[in-house]
């Protein structure tokens, strides 16, 4: 026998179900989507522009690293060859006066060394130069 309180109970139950579903989706989103703070070096709302240069003799490694950086939320503006093809080690170059962006890229790539070489560039804030050790990078999901 339906009473006057039954429709209100249905609305309360529906509201709770929506709240539980929202919390569940939020948990999934937080777990699987890279956090904006990590990919922007702590500067909310700003994407880091990255140039990737292959300084190793291995073909295609620049494209693989660029794809990995894009998956992490970085904006890869250029992929090309470095001036030399025998860099002994992979490094991250900070092109801006503030090395925070370069540090965020270096952390994402597994803790690479950061070199400060600030110069005004409209192209990128960070350059990644891949060396002969690029095979040790953890760029596979």
Compute the distance between CA of residue 56 and CA of residue 37 in angstroms, rounded to an integer: 31
CB 94 within 8 A of CB 101: yes
pLDDT band at 35 (very low <50, low <70, confident <90, very high): very low
CB atoms within 10 A of CB 77: 16
Task: Pull the structure tokens for residue 39.
Answer: 């990919």
Q: What values do phi and psi take at 91, rounded to 5?
A: -145, 160
- Residue-wise pLDDT for 19-33, tens only, equals 888 877 776 665 555
Could you tell me the residue ranges of all domains in the chain? 1-33, 36-136
- Residue-wise pLDDT for 70-120, tens only, equals 999 999 999 999 999 889 999 999 988 889 999 999 999 988 999 998 776
Task: Pull the structure tokens for residue 107.
Answer: 């952390």
Query: Which numeric CATH code is attached to 36-136?
Result: 3.30.70.2390
* Length reported for the chain: 141
Write down the pLDDT at residue 3: 56
**Residue whose tokens read 């600030």:** 118
Write down the pLDDT at residue 21: 83
Say whether 128 sits in a helix, a strand or coil. strand
For the chain, the maximum distance between any two Cα atoms, rounded to a whole number of angstroms, is: 84
Task: Pull the structure tokens for residue 67.
Answer: 């794809």
The pTM of this model reads 0.67
Compute the distance between CA of residue 61 and CA of residue 83 in angstroms, rounded to an integer: 16
**Residue whose tokens read 């929506």:** 18
Q: What kind and span of H or E run contains 52?
A: strand 49-54
The answer on pLDDT for 14 being more than 60 is: yes
Mean pLDDT of the chain: 82
pLDDT band at 9 (very low <50, low <70, confident <90, very high): confident
Task: Pull the structure tokens for residue 122.
Answer: 């409209």
């Amino acid at each position: 026998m339906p009473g006057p309180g039954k429709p209100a109970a249905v609305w309360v139950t529906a509201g709770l179900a929506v709240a539980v579903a929202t919390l569940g989706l939020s948990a999934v989103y937080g777990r699987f989507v890279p956090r904006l703070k990590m990919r922007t070096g702590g500067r909310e709302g700003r994407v880091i522009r990255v140039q990737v240069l292959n300084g190793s003799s291995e073909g295609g490694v620049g494209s693989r690293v660029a794809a990995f950086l894009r998956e992490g939320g970085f904006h890869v503006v250029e992929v090309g060859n470095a001036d030399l093809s025998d860099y002994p080690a992979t490094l991250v170059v900070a092109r801006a006066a503030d090395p925070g962006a370069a540090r965020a890229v270096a952390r994402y790539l597994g803790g690479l060394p950061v070199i400060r070489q600030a110069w005004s560039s409209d192209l990128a804030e960070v350059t990644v130069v891949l060396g002969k050790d690029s095979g040790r990078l953890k760029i596979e999901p």
